[in-house]
Structure 1
Amino acid sequence: MLTKTDLPPLLSPREAAITLDVWLLPKFSMLTLFCLLEPLRVANRLGRPLFAWRLLSSDGEPVVASNGVGIDADAAFDDVPRGDMLVVVASFEAEAAVSARHHALLRRTAGRNMPIAALDTAPFILARAGVLEGYRVAVHWESLPAFLEDFAHLNAGAARYIIDGKRLTGAGGAAGIDMMLSWIEQGWGQALADAIARQLLHQRQTSEESPGQALVGEGYTLERMPTPLAKALAIMEATTASPLSIAELGQRVGRSPRQLARLYDQYLHMAPRQCYLVLRLDRARRILIDSRISVTQAALATGFEHVAHFSRAYRQRFGEPPSVTAGRSRSDT
């Protein structure tokens, strides 16, 4: 039976060294919220009473996430006394519920030299309020083209997260864990950040490694990526188990195979079929590292009908046969 001392320490602002006010916009990402808060909770469990947080909505009423789950708010965004950091979490239709009054509140918060963080599509809100001037900004790769259209003067890119002085921006999702671990490391040391990562069973990643850069290496350029190409990449990532023909892929994004090939060549410096193969091989590698399934099962799970073909392609990309990767991951467990 759990005793009171076994329970995770949930601190009040009076008990904690740092209080984060987390402003949730309608249709925010629940995953992003959890990845933001869990490192703070674990930090409290491992060390001193460091962190408290308050969940805010625009009007103080419950706010519904993009997955349909409602979250009670502790206060309205403009009612609560300001803590030590403001974090804005959004996702779909980020700016639909944001008014000029909210922009003014953000500017006043920035004027007090308070750290402000923005995750997922929340950088749009901060940029519109004018509080990202002079800072480097991380934006989710899918949203980056639209962000650059509206805010071409800002130094934005597709990094997982960027901590630049008093501004923290992140692509959202699991990248929030890495952003918070990096922030904790800056303030309370690497030992605590690494201990939190171990508790969360999380392998830390660097701020500059965007999903695209991890995907295809140095040739992958996400700056000003056209929407059809971004959609094509998303479809590829979602269909690694049953790859589409390039003609069908083009139909889904409204481009001919020739037009699609030109986009891939211009922005990714590779053919669509080659990019598809890279995505599938990278997915297979993660499966072999993170699970105990066989090489044959990994090949089938990533759309390869013949194990011999899979093994040749895998060795060419990673410099070792898939059986070696699988064996090493098993010996590490």
Structure 2
Amino acid sequence: MANNQVSTRTVGFLLVPGFALMSYAAAVEPLRAANLISGRELYRWWHAAPGGKPVMASNGVAIIPDCGTSTERGADMVFVCAGGNPALFEDKSTFAWLRRLARKGVTIGGISGGPYILAKAGLLDERRATLHWEHLPAFREAFPGVEVVPSLFEIDGNRITCSGGISALDMMVALIERDHGRQLAASVGDWFLHTHIREGFGPQRMDLRYRLGIADEKLVAVLRAMEKNLETPLSRAALARSAGISLRQLERLFKSHIGHGIHSHYRWLRLERARQLLRETTLPVLDVALDTGFVSSSQFARAYTRAFGEPPSRTRLHG
């Protein structure tokens, strides 16, 4: 239901170096459109950056902020926009600033990798949250006290998290609808040629059939099972049984559609997950190995070095 009394809401954006420009633009542009379409200043916004210095997006575009994280500017909501590897962000003054805002009753949000920074500031404990799928495995390991869901966006009271990309547009349309009603929200979506506004609980990733260009339903079912069982890999025979076909048939499907065998593909999925954990967590290498289905750190190190041309310790060092 729209609010009867219209007042201007102020939104702050904390831009962390390496933030995703698309995610930020998809969050701020709907506010501009809401003002333009309604003919009123429903929203105003400002930008902050650590140290108050120009901040560069992941694509090299720099934005000059209005202030640093010592600002006392007022806001109804503040969104942290981050990308790259948010696990490496360690600015204690920024964490303290975010906690001060939360104590004042400001709604705190995170977009793309931004929820990682909120969690590091202790602002997502016992909360439901989402973030970009790339960061989900490491985030779950690092913050077991956060209820992580692989949705487009989550609104849990005065904490709002968003997986990033164009889902920030879906999130902002939902917030505009909450503030000013469905008609304005629909008009904002239409303004950006966004003909289908997605609910927050929608999936982040494209269905495997489209992502990999595979139409065979049995093979797709097996690939889904693989992605869901990386810590305790299923045997090739179990995968074939789950698809209702013989192991030989399944091997042929992999060679035909994937280009290599079942074992090679499964190992690659597990090693990709391991690389994410090495980059974005401080888990010991042995824990990373066990979490991705390897029985020892030495077995893991050999497979990892063959796949990526460097040992796990070097990936961890370069984070």
Q: Report the CA distance between 1:126 and its aligned residue.
A: 0.6
Q: Does 1:246 align with 2:259?
A: yes
**Structure 2 alignment gaps of length 5 or more:** 1-6, 210-216, 234-255, 272-319
Structure 1 stretches of 4+ with a deviation exceeding 3 A read 95-98, 212-217, 219-227, 243-246, 257-263
Give the unaligned 5+ runs of structure 1: 1-15, 230-242, 264-333
Conserved? CA contact 1:157–1:223, under 8 Å = no
TM-score (ref. length: structure 1): 0.62
Give the fraction of aligned pairs with identical amino acids, expressed as a percent. 32
Matched position secondary structure for 2:95 = helix
Do the aligned residues in 2 keep the contact of 1:145 with 1:223 (CA within 8 Å)? Answer: no
- Asked whether the equivalents of residues 129 and 149 of structure 2 are also in contact (C-alpha less than 8 Å), the reply is yes
Counterpart of 1:144 in 2: which secondary structure?
Answer: helix
Q: Alpha-carbon deviations, 1:151-179, whole Å to 9, x = none?
A: 12210011011111111100101000000
* Shift, 1:98, TM fit: 3.5
The residue number in structure 1 matching 2:200 is: 207
CA distance in 1, matches of 2:105, 2:269: 47
The structure 2 residue matched to 1:148, chosen from 137, 140, 146, is 140
Q: Is 2:102 the counterpart of 1:110? A: yes
2:32 aligned residue (41, 62, 71): 41
**Count, aligned residues:** 230
2:41 and 2:93 map into 1 onto residues whose CA distance is 34
Q: Aligned equivalents of 2:89 and 2:266: distance in 1? A: 41
Alpha-carbon distance in 2 for matches of 1:57, 1:43? 25
Q: Secondary structure at the match of 1:211?
A: coil
Contact (CA 8 Å) 2:77, 2:107: kept in 1 or not?
yes
- In structure 1, the residue corresponding to 2:134 is in which secondary structure? coil
**Matched position secondary structure for 2:48:** strand
Aligned pairs for 1:290-329 (under 5 A) are: none
SS in 2 for 1:142: helix
CA–CA separation in structure 2 for the residues paired with 1:140 and 1:193: 24
Question: Cα RMSD between the aligned structures?
Answer: 3.2
Could you tell me how far apart the structure 2 residues matched to 1:141 and 1:225 are? 16
Q: How does 1:9-88 map to 2 (within 5 A)?
A: 17-47=8-38, 48-88=40-80
Q: Supply the AA of the counterpart residue of 1:46.
A: I
**Alignment partners' CA distance in 2, 1:33 and 1:89:** 6
Which of structures 1 and 2 has the larger relative contact order (alpha carbons within 8 angstroms, sep 6+)? 2
Q: Do 2:14 and 2:79's aligned partners in 1 also have CA atoms closer than 8 Å?
A: yes
8 Å CA contact retained: 1:103, 1:128? yes
How far 1:99 sits from its partner (Å)? 1.7
Q: So what's the TM-score if we normalise by structure 2?
A: 0.65
Which residue does the alignment assign to 1:130?
122
State the partner residue of 1:256: 264
Counterparts of 1:127 and 1:261 in 2: how far apart (Å)?
Answer: 26
